[in-house]
Amino acid sequence: MVAWLVLALFLHKAPPATARATVKVTGVVGRAVLLGADIPLGFQVRDAIWRYLAPAEELVATYFRGSAETLYQSRFYGRSRLHSNLTLEISQVELGDSGTFSALLVNTRGQTETRMLHLAVYEVVSQLTLQVFTSESSRSGSARVCEVFLTCVAASGTNVTYSWGRTDGKVLSMDNHSLFEAGLVLWAKLGPSDRQVSYTCTAANAVSWESATIAPWEHCQRETGAEDAVYDYRNILLIALPLSVLVLAVVVFGLLLSRKRSGKQRTKLLLDASEPAAAPV
Ligand SMILES: *[C@@H]1O[C@H](CO)[C@@H](O)[C@H](O)[C@H]1NC(C)=O
Ligand SMILES: *[C@@H]1O[C@H](CO)[C@@H](O)[C@H](O)[C@H]1NC(C)=O
Ligand SMILES: *[C@@H]1O[C@H](CO)[C@@H](O)[C@H](O)[C@H]1NC(C)=O
The domain that holds 17 is classified in CATH as: 2.60.40.10
In a domain, 250, yes or no: no
pLDDT for residue 25 is more than 50: yes
| pLDDT of 218 over the 60 cut | yes
Average pLDDT value for residue range 189-212: 92
- Do 70 and 147 lie in one domain? The reply is no
Ligand 1 proximity of 244 Cβ (cutoff 6 Å): no
Whether 233 maps to a domain, the answer reads no
Is residue 255, in this structure, part of any structural domain at all?
no
CA–centroid distance, residue 207 to ligand 1 (Å): 21
Q: Are residues 100 and 118 in the same domain?
A: yes
- Domain residue limits at 32: 2-122
Q: Do 148 and 190 belong together in one domain?
A: yes
**Is 87 within the bounds of a domain?**
yes
Tell me if 74 is assigned to some domain. Answer: yes
Residue ID of nearest Cα to ligand 2 atom 3: 159
Per-residue pLDDT tens digits for 58-98: 999 999 988 999 999 999 999 999 999 999 999 999 999 99
Q: pLDDT per residue over 163-183, tens digit each?
A: 999 998 888 988 899 999 888
Q: How much is the pLDDT for 221?
A: 63
The pLDDT score that the predictor gives to residue 271 is: 39
pLDDT band at 244 (very low <50, low <70, confident <90, very high): low
For residues 104 and 155, state if they share a domain: no
Is the CB of residue 176 below 6 angstroms from any atom belonging to ligand 3? yes
Which residue, 122, 144, 178, sits at the end of a domain? 122
Residues 138 and 88 in one domain: no
**Residue 71, in any domain of the structure:** yes
First to last CA, the chain: 102
As beta bridge partners, residue 102 has 51, 116
Residue 157 near residue 124 (C-beta atoms within 8 A)? yes
**DSSP state for residue 196 in the 8-state scheme:** T
Minimum CA distance residue for ligand 2 atom 7: 159
Closest-lying ligand 2 atom to the alpha carbon of residue 120: 13
With b for 16 or more beta-carbon neighbours within 10 A and e for fewer, the 33-63 pattern comes to bebebbbeeebebbbbbbbbeeeeebbbbbb
What total of structural domains would you count in the chain? 2
Residue where a domain terminates, one of 186, 218, 250: 218
Q: Which helix (H) or strand (E) holds 120?
A: strand 112-122
| Ligand located closest to 120 CA | 2
Tens digit of pLDDT for each residue in 50-64? 999 977 899 999 999
Q: Three-class SS of residue 13?
A: helix
- Verify that 118 and 148 share a domain, yes or no: no
pTM of the model: 0.70
Taking the CA of residue 37 as reference, the ligand 1 atom at the shortest distance is 13
> Ligand 3: which of 138, 144, 172, 175 to mutate, judged by most atoms within 8 Å of the beta carbon?
175
User: Final residue of a domain: which of 199, 218, 237?
Assistant: 218
Within this chain, do residues 134 and 165 fall inside the same structural domain, yes or no?
Answer: yes
Helices (H), the chain: 2-13, 136-140, 217-220, 227-278
Residues with CB under 6 A from ligand 2: 120, 158-159
Residues forming beta bridges with residue 199, ordered by sequence position: 166, 214
Q: Which of 160, 115, 143 lies closest to 225, judged by CA?
A: 143
Task: Please tell me the predicted confidence (pLDDT) of residue 242.
Answer: 53
Ligand positioned closest to the Cα atom of 83: 1
Q: Rounded distance, CA 252 to CA 241, Å?
A: 16
